[in-house]
Every structure is written in C-alpha cells, then in structure tokens.
A and B are shown apart, each in its own frame.
Chain A
Amino acid sequence: MRRWIWLSVVAVFAIAYPLLLSSPFQQRLGALVLLYAIAASAWNIVGGYAGQVSVGHVVFFGCGAYAAMGSYAKFGLSPLFGIPGGIVIAVGLAAIIGVPTLRLSGHYFSMATIAVAETMRLIVTNTDWLGAAVGLSGPTVPRNIFDLSFLSSLPYYYLFLFVLVITLFITWWMTNSRMGFYLRAIKDSERAARSLGAPASRTKLYAYMLSAALTSVAGALYAMMFGFVDPESGLGILISVKILIMAALGGAGLLFGPLVGAAILVPLEEISNSWLGGKGAGLTFVVYGAIIVLIARFQPGGLLSLFTQRRKSKSDTESKSDTGAGHAP
C-alpha cells in the first residue's frame, strides 16, 4: 500500500514538475534528468539486474544518436525515423559483442566493453561518411513537428517522461517474469544457477540486447534534443561512466535507482557548473567528485538501498533489526 502511495506522489510530481518550475532552464533540467534516467535505467537491466558491469554502453547510445542524426543528415528524413534503425543496429551489435564477451568474468567483461566502445569511437572518428570528427547535425530550423526541434523543453520533457515510463515498465515486467528470476539467480551465483538448469548465457544475452535497444533510444532522444552528435559526445567513454554512476549512485538493481541517481546528479552537475564553472578553477568537479566519493564510501549499495533496507528491517520480525547490508563492514 505504502508503495502505491509513494508511486503516485512521484508520478504526480513528475507530471506537474514543468508546470511548477516553469523557467526554460528548470524545464530543460527536468528533461535532462528524465533523459539520463532512461539511459541509466536501460543500463540497469544488464548492469544492475544481471550484474554485468558494462562500461561500454555508450556504443548503443551512439548507435541511436548516429541513426537519428544520420537519417536527417544523410537521407533528409526526420530524426525520428532513425530510432528503429538505431534499435536494430544496437541489438545486432549487442548480439555480436555479447556472445564472446558475456562469458568473460567480472572485470574482463568491463574491460572488453571499454575496448569495444573505444574501437567504435575511433572507427567513427575516421569515417567520413559518418561525419568523422566533425560530427552530424540535425535540422537547424525545424521543417515540421516531426523534426522534434522545439524552442521549449516542455515537449521534450513529456516525451522523455513517456519513454521513461515505458522503460521502467519493461524493466518491472522483466524482473517479475521468468527472465528476472533467472537473472537474480545468475547474479547471486552463476555456477549455482547453471547447475539448477537456468539458461545463463542466453538469459544474459537477452538482457544485454534489451538493454542495448533501450539505450539506443536514449541516444536518439539525446541527439534530437541537442541537434548534434560527434564522436566525443555520442561515443565518448565518459558518457558510459556517467550513465553507470547515476545507476550506481541511486541503487543498481533497483527499479527506481537510476531515476534517483539522475535526479541528484544531473541538477548537481548543471547547477554547480552554473555557479562555479565560470570561475574556471575546476571547483565544479571538486564538489562533484567529493560527493560521489562520499556516497560510494558510506552508501556503497546506492542511495535508494537506504529505504529498501529500512523496509526489510521493519518487516524482519527477528531480533537483528538492522542487518547493515550494503554498509561497509
């Protein structure tokens, strides 16, 4: 019951936010939070639920971004038409990357995904057809509504909210299906899950492909909003890290973890940049880095794990009221 109350409060706030805080910058901030929440939630499927820490997810992000901008720059179509293409490419790429790399353990998987992402960035940087280092731009002056080039951030906000709801719904549906059950088993112990007959490789691959498809949508939306993509902003390793950090900060493997992470980090970054960035002393990142370090140190399971812990300990009738799971031992 409490869960539903919370959920409706969040939903009402999400719908009303751009009306409550209606300055263009606040609306854009809201849209950005949702956009990063989509990407981080998509990452969460494979990084959080399946426990496969991909540090190269920007590859799929870039697929979407380049497909959207490419459909305009190369074929004169609305960037919207690039979305299905981006999804197809991302899922195909995920299959190609996933089959050999998903069997790698822990850090090797992470390193392999970094190597794939960097390779892709370098290839695109040297491919003239994809704009090479100059990048691809979207329509500078919108021709019609399908170009999705708006002055106000309001249409973006609700579009992103819609996509985020779908993403979260897919995630929720997945966790409650057989696949989610397998994923939890694999995350706990892959060997045990295998011995009990869970199709570990296939399940991980499906999760990876699903995650890739949704990440590509996030990339496409990102490119549409900014009207531009280049190798650094569409395929740079920092974007992977940013997505990962948002999910981890909010709580990886929790449905609303990525949203919480994005809701804290995006405003923190934009506003500290607005306040401190112009001084040119690098203080933005000192503050940003310090906060991340503190959260990692004192709440390694992510911020949202605070509340799940409390719920667990409340429902625990046993004497050990606070297990401190997620806390540093």
Chain B
Amino acid sequence: MSFVLVQVIVGGLLLGAVYALFSSGLTLVWGMMNIVNFAHGDFVMLGMYVAYVVYTLMGGGPILGAPLATLVLATVGVVVYFALIRGIMKGPMLAQILGTFGLALLLRYSVFWWFGANFLSMPPNIVGGTYAFAGLRIEASRLLAGVVALLVTLGLHLLLTRTSLGSKMLAVAEDQTAAQLMGIRPDTMQAIAWAIAAGATGLAGALIANFFYIVPTVGETLGIVAFVTVSLGGFGSVPGALVAGLLIGVIESLSGYLIGAIYKDIVVYVLFLLFLSFRPQGLMGKM
C-alpha cells in the first residue's frame, strides 16, 4: 500500500471521529425522544462561537473553551427543551421539523446579527502543532478531537448502559407512562438528556473550532453530515454513530483521493441508500 494512502486513511479516521463527535448528541435526542433536530448543526456552530469568544476575551485555549462551551450549550439545551421541545415532542413529526428548523434560523441569524458574517478562525497551532510520526503527519487539534470523540462516545455509552440515570432515561424513551408509574419523572429525564446531548454538541463545536473556520452558516455544512451519520449508525445508537462517522470519514477521504472530491459526497449518499435498502434500521439500530 502506498504511503500516501495510509495518510489518507489516517486523515479519514480522524475526520470520521469528528463526525462521530458532533453526531452523538443528535443520535441521543433523535433516538431517545424521536425528535428530528434540524437545529443540530447550529448547536455545533454555537459551541464554536463560545470557544472563539473564550479565546478572544480570555485568551484561553481548548482547556478553558471546551468545558465552557459544554456548559453553555447544556444550558441552552435545557432552555430549548422546556421552551420548545416539550411542546412539540408529542406532536406530529412535521411540527418537530417546523419548530427545529425555525430554531435553526433563529440561532443562526441571532449569531449573525451579533457577530456579523465574517469568517473567523482560531490562531493556528492553538492546540500544539502537528506531530510527524514515521512520515505520517497528524495535527494535534484533530488528534485531540478524535480522542475526545472516542472518550465521549464511550462515556455516553457507559452512561446509558451502566448507570441508573441511563436506565431511567432509556425507560422513559421506551415507555413514558410505564416509567412514570415506576416513579421516574419523564420531564426531568428528558431535560437531562437534552442537556447531555447539547453539551456534547457544544464540546464538539469547541474542538472543531480549533481547525475549522467559524461562520454563522457553518451549521448548514455540518448539519447534513450529522444527519447522514446518525441514520447510517441507527437512530439512538451512540456506538453506531461512532462506527458510521469513522466509516463516512474514511469513505470520503478515500473517494476524494481516488476518484475526485466532487464525487465523494455522491459515493457516501449512494452507499447510504444501498445500505438502507439492506438494513433499514441502520448499522446498530434496533428495529
């Protein structure tokens, strides 16, 4: 195997880990509450702006920016849950699309109004340069995002499967009335789920900000990737999102390198459609 190909695959894996990172929040609310969140990409965008503000105001890098972005977005998540989601959750899917799409515009253009339309960027090397390893080159900021993606995915998975909070959340997802009869308060559980999902998304945004550009409309670019990742992985499956993210990252990199970048998204979508017709519940989803 040619050496460049190894670099392409490693690059794809790191990219895929980032896709997985910003998709895990979406899969959580989508799978658990059956909510299609069209504003997801804009949550990522908010996370990026929080990190940027932290950097410009306090000069802090990701060590300060990432936790703050997580906190801010978790708060936003809870507010959005009580103000909007709770009201449209049981409504038709259309109302959810309507509500979250409106929210997306509202978030995107509120940021636009405040920060303007200019492209912003974190200074290069804010995380610490690039590692050269036996000819392979790995950017520290991407490596950090990749590692955190793995940790977050693992953490979320453990939270859902090993803790009592997780089982309560799953119980609410499974059957709200039954859960209520068992003394679990669905509202609290779902608010917590939103806080976790939005927090993870904010964290993702803060980490992506280190190597990406920041602009109010960036959520459009990232949102659609998250949608495909989540559907491919199976709605609600956190490990599924990880595997799907990595897969998409590698497919994009390889097809971009081998057959041309303008075709790489076509390859991803066609594979996704083929896959859906064989396994309609996604990689790791339950039917």
A residues with CB within 8 A of B: 47, 53, 55, 100-101, 103-108, 110-112, 114-116, 118-119, 122-123, 125-126, 237, 241, 244-245, 247-249, 252, 280-286, 288-298, 300-302, 326, 328-329
Contacts and interface: CB of A to CB of B under 8 A. Distances in A.
Q: Which of B98, B108, B117: most chain A CB closer than 10 A?
A: B98
Contact of B105 (A103, A292, A301): A292
Interface stretch (B44-52, B87-95, B243-251): B87-95
B55 interface: no
B178 interface: no
Contacts of A282: 108-110, 112-113, 117, 216
A119 B109 contact: no
A286 B216 CA distance: 13
Contact of A289 (B90, B96, B103, B227): B103
Given A103-B280, A289-B102, A297-B88, A115 B110 contact: no
A112 B278 CA distance: 13
A281 B113 contact: yes
A48 B211 CA distance: 43
A328 B30 contact: no
Contacts, number: 157
Given A286-B106, A289-B102, A119 B266 contact: yes
Interface of B: 30, 34, 36, 38, 83-84, 86-88, 90-99, 101-110, 112-113, 117, 216, 224, 227-228, 231, 235, 262-263, 265-266, 269-270, 272-273, 276-277, 280-282
A300 B110 contact: no
A328 B102 contact: no
13 contacts: A53-B93, A103-B280, A115-B272, A122-B262, A122-B265, A282-B117, A283-B109, A283-B113, A286-B110, A295-B98, A328-B86, A328-B87, A329-B90
A104 B280 CA distance: 6
B231 A293 contact: no
B29 to A, nearest CB: 12
B99 A293 contact: yes
Contacts of B97: 53, 55, 241, 244-245, 248
Contacts of A245: 97-98, 101
B94 A105 contact: no
A112 B84 contact: no
B273 to A, nearest CB: 5
B276 A298 contact: no
Nearest to A279: B113
Nearest to B217: A282
Contacts of A285: 105-106, 108-109, 112
Q: Which of A55, A106, A248, A296: most chain B CB closer than 10 A?
A: A296
